[in-house]
A and B are shown apart, each in its own frame.
Chain A
């Protein structure tokens, strides 16, 4: 239902908490997450859906949140990087593997990369190096040369851990 000022009400579950916000029709989901919900771990790295820095999980599926209008997320359940760890809790397996293998430098692509790795391991629990490199083709990292990201994912694959 449009509001009088052309805003639309969106209700969604974000990291396990139900939120309702009023947004302009043209607002992208990534901006709802960053601006209206204040979850700035999800980043904007481009404007053509190339870089993957804004990747989040929508109803269990990793999706670039710049490709979704905020109004389309009405009723969805969304997990962002902030939803992977409780305050003071240990890192999730993917995050811990990134730390162990030095798979991040500036950290800007990292939240999106972590979300994509979770999806990759869900789809292919034991990916080959080729599978990993191909599976992460939607995420650009400019610092690591991908080498240590691949090592981090391989370490999870060989252990067979759930993401």
Chain B
């Protein structure tokens, strides 16, 4: 057996180990779970955005064919809940959120009643037989309207519909504004999005003969779901086994606690049978959390040479009808802390207000707050360039934080620290790959022929892998920042690694194996990775906040190092030398400078388990568990450039080129890293050009209620993405890696908007809000032409 290797795996574009089963149709997602005697739950949802529930008549549903149980919210009162957020910014007012509405509904889609039947079709049929009498109340869906005097009030304990007020300050903005040559303001909307994992949510809860309960759920955070379900339903946590099988995308939406996550476990125990719930796509649009939904008022003070002197931000974050899992943290810590972006802006003043409305709860979606923060910084600096008629690249270069200034605390912040970076390097690499000067000349030349092309630029940085744990406590986040990994070597020298991270398509089976293989010096084929089963995996926080390589990967790295350290002790005993004389390389323990025959890792593993000849003080076994709590957070960064052509006659934006240069520290797998950039950028392009959740402002009806109405881009709507990297290792973890998953969706929205605005600059159009759909662009051009002709 080839049991050792000297090959370095980190940095190799290895093909994914998880592909074969997925390509063969052998993936196992929650909806593929079929258990004997399994029952099906369906949920009746509110058709009104805001209403009192007068009565609920379940009688017809109860006698429908196949129906086993019908319940309204009243029947569940006191049995479980309420649903409480996991992140509560200090000072927040938390609305009471029952699992199923009892006397009032606050958004279209809120759970009102449920049916459990023998088939899903029977459950759907019976749902249609439930008769609910509503008293419709005035509704509002817009954050700007929600905070006005006289707006409908959603919760008695949330006066003015504001749950949270959060402020950030550094330097003296007012003084900077007084002394600046120019001060301009802009108001930008960060459009509400639907995360749209291709696999909708689903859950199966199954009572086991031994009294425990197994829950299958597509969860990014299986151990967190175990805790939340245990605490909210009242099941001892150790008697609950959460299994997250293959997950069809998460993007943040599968890391929250939803009513159905609680109902299935409760009902399975009540009925003594497995209960499944599967979310239809249209149901998903009104029941799974949305993303973004901000309004930002920005003021920027700058000198005539383009140096930014101060920035002021006023954020309104629309979080829907209740405070979802992380909702008070998104528009606050995650957004305005990062409002200065990659730029050195010493005078900064920001306020964020978290606002409830009659809409689907808004929570984390790919980037969560950082796309909104980067949009603030980027739209501000682009406005400065446009105002002064300076080159958009040169204004950025002038304001960048310099490579010598890291670690860098923007505006003297105690909470934000960018660990490393080289923004000038990113910019230069992007400009060269893009042929910026050539394209600029091309744009100018073509404009004379009535062809409107534009170049967009955006730079970003942020912080990934929320840590250390004590820091999360300060911001009211009820979880730790660590990740755990157990590396278990068997007697043949093969490794099984139990990781608390949770892949939803990122390819952890491959990337974590690469990390372990380099330390253990054994082939990847000799390494198995186990995730997503709380009975097998000791503990974990899962995958979000681009944390899995930096925190989860580091825990695998450190745990593997401990294996090698113990193996070295055992090898020293076998070689009958002092441990300090033993060297480990290419998977063999040897004594350099001697002719003592080396022993391989597998031989040492065998010795660890037979235990025949272990040094004093070394116990048997080769099995190490690490709870790795980072000391800090890594800061990925990047510069993206887009080249577009806008047809003023139709408003259609054609994307001609897109270059992404990202610095995510050490690249573990360049192939998978580029894949993360491609996907993130396209989700960002989608926000900029296509996607927007629409509500009827009068009655709060969801107008984008299915994929017919919500414009997720197809292959023909997006370009090739040229993904390049710069590697500035993070000093905050042993691998030097930084987060990557959110980069694309942070950079692409401002980049695309700037490109379109650049193309439209001959028309004098300085601002447009996303999404830049053809009607919106066309209308802006028409308006500009009409204005010009008057």
- State yes or no: do A and B come from one complex: yes
Per-position contact with B for A109-139: 1 when CB-CB < 8 Å, else 0?
A: 1110010000000000000011011101111
Smallest Cβ-Cβ distance to A89: which chain B residue = B24
Q: Contacts A48-B281, A51-B707, A147-B721 hold; do A100 and B25 have CB atoms under 8 A apart?
A: no
Does A91 belong to the interface (CB within 8 Å)?
yes
Partner-binding segment picked from A35-43, A70-78, A155-163: A35-43
Distance (whole angstroms) from the CB of A24 to the closest CB of chain B: 7
Nearest chain-B residue to A53 (Cβ)? B198
Closest-CB distance, A147 to chain B (whole angstroms): 4
Docked complex Cα distance between A114 and B20 (Å): 13
B708 touches A106 (CB 8 A): no
Across the interface, name the chain B residue whose C-beta is closest to A146: B715
- Going nearest first, the 3 A-B pairs with the smallest beta carbon separation are A41-B25, A106-B505, A108-B248
Contact of B681 among A41, A129, A145 (CB under 8 A): A145
- Given contacts A48-B708, A145-B679, A148-B675, are A140 and B15 in contact (CB under 8 A)? no
Per-residue CB proximity of A3-17 to B under 8 Å, as 1/0? 000000000000000
Q: A47-B706, A53-B198, A147-B721 are in contact. Are A136 and B714 (CB under 8 A)?
A: yes
**Distance in Å: Cβ of B206 to nearest Cβ of chain A:** 17
Query: What is the CA–CA distance of A34 and B248 in the complex, to the nearest angstrom?
Result: 17
In the assembled complex, A85 has its CB within 8 A of some CB on chain B: yes
Q: Which of A46, A98, A102, A111 has a CB less than 8 Å from the CB of B707?
A: A46
Name the A residues within 8 Å of B506 (CB-CB).
Answer: 105
In the complex, are the beta carbons of B196 and A142 less than 8 A apart?
A: yes
Interface-central residue, B20, B121, B682, by most chain A CB under 10 Å: B682
A98 to B375: give the CA distance in the assembly, Å.
34
**A-side contacts of B674, CB under 8 Å:** 102
User: How distant is the Cα of A54 from the Cα of B714 in the complex, in angstroms?
Assistant: 16
On whether the beta carbons of A137 and B505 are closer than 8 Å, the reply is no
Residues of B within 8 A of A110 (CB): 22-23
**Cα-based distance from A121 to B632 in the complex (angstroms):** 50
Chain B interfacial positions (CB closer than 8 Å to A) = 15-16, 18-20, 22-29, 31-32, 34, 121, 196-200, 246-249, 251, 280-282, 504-507, 671-672, 674-675, 678-683, 706-708, 712, 714-716, 718, 720-721, 744
Least distance between A50 CB and chain B CB atoms (Å): 4
Q: Which residue of A lies closest to B246 (CB)?
A: A107
Which A residues lie within 8 Å of B721 (CB)? 145, 147
Binding site for B on A (CB under 8 A): 24, 26, 34-35, 38-48, 50-51, 53, 80-82, 84-85, 91, 95, 98-100, 102, 104-111, 114, 129-130, 132-134, 136-150
State A84–B31 Cα separation when bound (angstroms). Answer: 22
Decide: B675 and A45 in contact? CB cutoff 8 A: no
B364 to chain A, nearest CB (A): 16
- B707 proximity list for chain A (CB < 8 A): 46, 48, 50-51, 140
Q: How far is the CA of A146 from the CA of B720 in the complex (A)?
A: 8
Q: A45-B199, A99-B23 are in contact. Are A108 and B706 (CB under 8 A)?
A: no
Within 8 Å CB of B672, what residues of A? 102
The residue that B679 contacts in the complex, of A38, A44, A144, with Cβ under 8 A, is A144
Rounded to whole Å, the gap between the CB of B652 and the closest CB of chain A is 15
Closest to B13 in A: A102
Given known contacts A91-B23, A136-B715, is B720 in contact with A150 (CB within 8 Å)? Answer: yes
Nearest opposing residue in chain B for A141, CB measure: B198
Assuming the contacts A111-B25, A145-B718, asked whether A105 and B281 have C-beta atoms less than 8 A apart, the reply is no
Q: A106 and B718: CB pair below 8 A?
A: no
The listed residue (A34, A108, A133, A138) touching B199 by CB distance below 8 A is A108
Residues in B with CB closer than 8 Å to A26 are: 121
Q: Is the CB of A45 within 8 A of B24?
A: no
Q: B28: nearest residue on chain A (CB-CB)?
A: A40
Contact between chains at A114 and B121 (CB < 8 Å): no
Q: Which of B19, B199, B708 is within 8 Å of A50, CB to CB?
A: B708
Chain A minimum-CB-distance residue to B22: A107
Give the complex CA separation of A42 and B25 in angstroms: 7
- Does B683 lie within 8 Å of A142, measured CB to CB? yes
- CB proximity of B289 to chain A, nearest CB, Å: 15
Subset of 9 A-B contacts with CB under 8 Å: A105-B506, A133-B714, A137-B715, A138-B714, A139-B714, A141-B198, A145-B679, A146-B682, A149-B715
Most chain B C-beta atoms within 10 Å of own C-beta, residue among A104, A134, A150? A104
**Which chain B residues border A104 with CB–CB below 8 Å?**
19, 22-23
Report whether B678 and A147 are in contact in the complex, using a CB–CB cutoff of 8 Å. Answer: yes
Residues of B close to A145: CB separation below 8 A: 678-683, 718, 721, 744
In the bound complex, residues from chain B placing their C-beta under 8 Å from that of A130 are 716
In-complex Cβ contact of B505 among A53, A82, A95, A107 (8 A): A107
CB-based contact A107/B248 at 8 Å: yes
Query: Does A41 contact B19, Cβ atoms closer than 8 Å?
Result: no
B251 touches A142 (CB 8 A): yes
Q: In the complex, which residues of chain B have a beta carbon less than 8 angstroms from the beta carbon of A150?
A: 715, 720
B703 to chain A, nearest CB (A): 15
Assuming the A-B contacts A26-B121, A48-B282, are A105 and B716 also in contact, with contact meaning beta carbons closer than 8 angstroms in the complex? no
Q: How far is the CA of A64 from the CA of B780 in the complex (A)?
A: 39
A130–B282 Cα gap in the complex (Å)?
31
Note all chain A residues with C-beta closer than 8 A to B679. Answer: 105, 142-145
> Considering the chains assembled together, what is the distance between the CA atoms of A150 and B714 in angstroms?
12
For B23, B32, B716, the residue with the greatest tally of chain A CB atoms inside 10 Å of its CB is B23
Cβ A24 vs Cβ B716 within 8 A = no
CB distance from B199 to the nearest CB of A (A): 5
Q: Are A47 and B282 touching (Cβ within 8 A)?
A: yes
Chain B residue contacts of A136, Cβ below 8 A: 714-716
Q: Are A144 and B716 in contact (CB under 8 A)?
A: no
> Within the assembled complex, what's the spacing in Å between the Cα atoms of A43 and B34?
14
Shortest Cβ gap from B713 to chain A (Å) = 8
Contact B199 A106 (CB under 8 A): yes
CA distance A149 to B706 in the complex (A): 25
Q: A24, A38, A142: which contacts B121 (Cβ < 8 A)?
A: A24
| Cβ contacts under 8 Å, A148 to chain B | 675, 678
Q: Given contacts A24-B121, A102-B16, is CB(A47)–CB(B280) below 8 Å?
A: yes
Most chain B Cβ neighbours within 10 Å, of A44, A50, A145, A149:
A145
Docked-complex contact B31 and A44, CB < 8 angstroms? yes
A108 B27 Cβ-Cβ under 8 A: yes
CB distance from B590 to the nearest CB of A (A): 37
Q: Closest CB-CB distance, A94 to chain B, in whole Å? A: 9
- Chain A's nearest CB lies how many Å from the CB of B110? 20
Complexed CA–CA distance, A102 and B670 (Å):
11
